[in-house]
Chains A and B, each alone.
Chain A
Amino acid sequence: MTMSFRPLLRRRIASAFVAGALALCGIAANAAGLPAAYSPLVVEPAVDKGRFEFDLGPALARARRENKRLYVYLGASDCPFCRRYEAFLGKNAGELVPHFKPWIVVDLRSSLSTQADKLFIRAGGKSLAYMDFQRSIGDERTRMLVYPSVWLFDPQLKPLMQMPPGTGTFETVEEQLEILNLVQ
C-alpha cells in the first residue's frame, strides 16, 4: 500500500514545486520593472557582441506625437535599490500616477552586469556608449553608471534638469513631486 502511494506523492510534490516555481517567476516578473500603474513603455536591450543597446527612438517619437516629456528609468533585474524605488512607486501609485500624466514613463530593463562600457543608448540615429551619451547631453553623471538612474527629457531629447545618481533622494511622495515639477 505504502509503495503504491509513493509515485502519486512524488507527482504531487513535483507539481507543487512546479507551481511554486511558476508562482515565484510570476512574482519576480512583477517585481522587476516599474509598476504597471504608470503604463511604462518597456524597452529591452538589443544584445549584440556584448553590447546592450537601448533604443529611445520609439519613446521619443511617441513623446513628440503626444507632446509629452520622457521620464526614462534605467533599472536592473538584480538590483535591490531598483526594487526599492519600484516598490515606492507601487505603494504610492494612487497619489503619484496623476502627476505622471505629462510624462511618458520609459522603463529600460538592464542588469547589474551591464556596466558603462557595455551599455549603449540609441537616439537620434546614433548609438552611444553610456559615457559618450552622457557627455552628448551634458549630463554630469559621466563618472560612473549607477543603477537605478533617471533622466528627464523633452521630446527633442533635451535634458530638463540635471538629475542625481540613483533614486535615493526622491523616494518620498513630496520629493518625487519635486522631481516631476523640475524643482532645482
Chain B
Amino acid sequence: MNSPIEPLIHRRRFVLGLGALPLAMAPAARAAVGGLPSNTGHGDLSPEWEKLRGQIFGTRPIDATSGRVQLIAPLRAAYGASVPVKIVSHLAQTPALYVKRMHLLVDKNPSPLAATLELTPEVGQADFETRLRVDEYSHVRVVSELSNGELHMDSRYVKTSGGCSAPPNRDSPELIGKTIFKLPAPPKMGVPTTADLTVIHPNDTGFELNNVTVMYIPSHFVRTIAVSYAGRKIFDADVDFSISENPTWRFNFVPRAPGELRAEVTDSKGQRFIGSLQVG
C-alpha cells in the first residue's frame, strides 16, 4: 500500500523539476505560423508530458489508441480558471477488471498533476467530471490505470490561458469548507448512480493578485477528498490547485441499500471538512 505522503512528494518533484524546463525545452521548441506551437493536435505529445511521464510512470507502456478512456474538454474555454472536463471510461467497472487509478494532468500548469484518483469497483462506472484551471495553451491528459496494470491515455489540446492567476471569488468566506452532495436524479439500488460533490473553497493557487493590496494571495487549496458510501470506499482523490475554485466532482457509485454518502476533505492548511447525504 502506498504511503499517503508519497503522491505529495511526487507532486513537489514535478513542480521543482518543471522549473528547469524552459532551458531544457529551448532547443526543441518548434513554432508554427502565427507563433503557435506545432504540437497542437489533441493526441500530440509535449516536452512537459515526456518529462512527467517518466516521473510518474517510468518506462511502463501507455496505450493512447485503445479507446478505453476518453477525455472530453473544449478546444477553447469560456474561462481559463474553470475549464469543464469529462472523463469517460469505456470499460465496465467489475471486480475482475476495473479502473484502479486515474491521473488528470495539465501539461503546462505550474503544478501539472491536477488529480490522482484511487478508485474501487464500487464506483460502478468510472466516469468523472470536474473543472480545471488551465494556465496557458496546453494538453490536458487523463491516464487510466487498470487493475491488471495496463495504462490507457487520452488527451485534448485546450486553448485558453490565465487560469492560475484569475481573480478569485470571495463572496462568502464563511462558507469555506462547506461540502455538499447532490444527486441529479433519484438513486436506483444496485446500479451506478450519479452524484455531484462540491467543496466551497477558494483553491487559491498562490499566483492570484489581490487587487486591493497588490499582494499575491497565499496558496490555499483542497488536498484530499475521500468519498465513501455506507462505510465502503468509493474513491480517494489527491488533488491540487489545478482544480478550479469550489472543487466539484461528478462521479458514480452503486448504492446497494440505503446508506450515507460521505466525503472527508482536507486542505493545504490542514483543515478538515466533512459532508454527507443520506441516500435511500
Chain A interface residues toward B at CB < 8 A: 139-141, 143, 162-165, 168-175, 178, 183-184
Across the interface, name the chain A residue whose C-beta is closest to B169. Answer: A143
- What is the CA–CA distance of A138 and B161 in the complex, to the nearest angstrom? 22
Which of B10-18, B53-61, B69-77 has 4 or more CB atoms under 8 Å from chain A?
Answer: B69-77
Q: A140-B78, A141-B79, A169-B76 are in contact. Are A164 and B160 (CB under 8 A)?
A: yes
Sample of 20 A–B contacts (CB below 8 Å): A140-B78, A141-B79, A162-B74, A162-B76, A162-B78, A163-B76, A163-B78, A164-B159, A164-B160, A165-B78, A168-B161, A169-B160, A172-B33, A173-B33, A173-B34, A174-B33, A175-B34, A178-B75, A184-B74, A184-B76
CB-based contact A174/B74 at 8 Å: no
Chain B interfacial residues counted at CB < 8 A: 14
A172–B34 alpha-carbon span in the complex (Å):
6
B28 within 8 A of A: no
Chain A proximity of B205: nearest CB distance (Å): 17
**Which residues of B, 39-95, contact A by the 8 Å Cβ criterion?**
74-79, 82
Interface SS of chain B: helix, strand, loop or mixed? loop
Scoring B residues 1 to 34 as 1 if CB is less than 8 Å from chain A, else 0, what string do you get?
A: 0000000000000000000000000000000011
Q: Considering the chains assembled together, what is the distance between the CA atoms of A173 and B36 in angstroms?
A: 12
Contact residue among A140, A174, A175 (Cβ-Cβ distance under 8 Å from B79): A140
Q: Are A143 and B33 in contact (CB under 8 A)?
A: no
Which of A165, A173, A184 sits near B75, CB closer than 8 Å? A184
Closest to A178 in B: B75
Contact A165 B79, beta carbon cutoff 8 Å: yes
How far is B160's CA from A162's CA once the two chains are assembled, in angstroms? 13
Cross-chain contact A139 with B78 (CB below 8 angstroms): yes
Interchain nearest-CB distance for B135 vs A (Å): 14
Name the 5 nearest CB pairs between A and B, nearest first.
A172-B34, A140-B78, A164-B76, A169-B159, A141-B78
Task: Scan B196-235; emit 1 where CB is below 8 A from any A CB, else 0.
Answer: 0000000000000000000000000000000000000000
- Cβ–Cβ < 8 Å partners of A140 in chain B: 78-79, 82
CB distance from A121 to the nearest CB of B (A): 17
Partner of B34, one of A171, A183, A184: A171
Contacts of B34 in A (CB 8 A): 171-175
Name the B residues within 8 Å of A174 (CB-CB): 33-34
With contacts A169-B159, A169-B160 taken as known, whether A164 is within 8 angstroms of B78 at the C-beta atoms is: yes
Q: B153-177: which have CB < 8 Å to A?
A: 159-161
Known: A141-B79, A175-B36. 4 other contacts (CB 8 A): A141-B78, A168-B161, A174-B33, A183-B75
Say how far A175's CB is from chain B's closest CB, in angstroms.
Answer: 8
Q: What is the CB-to-nearest-CB distance from B34 to chain A, in angstroms, rounded to a whole number?
A: 3
In the bound assembly, the distance between CA atoms of A174 and B35 in angstroms comes to 12
In the bound complex, what is the Cα–Cα distance between A141 and B76 (angstroms)?
12
Nearest Cβ distance between residue A180 and chain B, in whole angstroms? 13
A140 to B84, CA, bound (A): 11
Instruction: Please measure, in the bound complex, the distance between the C-alpha atom of A66 and the C-alpha atom of B134, giving whole angstroms.
Output: 39
What residues of chain A lie closer than 8 Å to B137, measured between beta carbons? 169
Residues of A within 8 A of B161 (CB): 168
Q: How far is the CB of A22 from chain B (nearest CB, A)?
A: 36
Give the distance in Å from the alpha carbon of A177 to the alpha carbon of B53 in the complex. 33
B79 surroundings in chain A (CB, below 8 A): 140-141, 143, 165
In the complex, what's the smallest C-beta–C-beta distance from B39 to chain A, in angstroms? 14
A163 partner residues in chain B, CB cutoff 8 A: 76, 78
- Cβ contacts under 8 Å, A178 to chain B: 75
For residue B168, give the distance in angstroms from its CB to the closest CB of chain A. Answer: 11
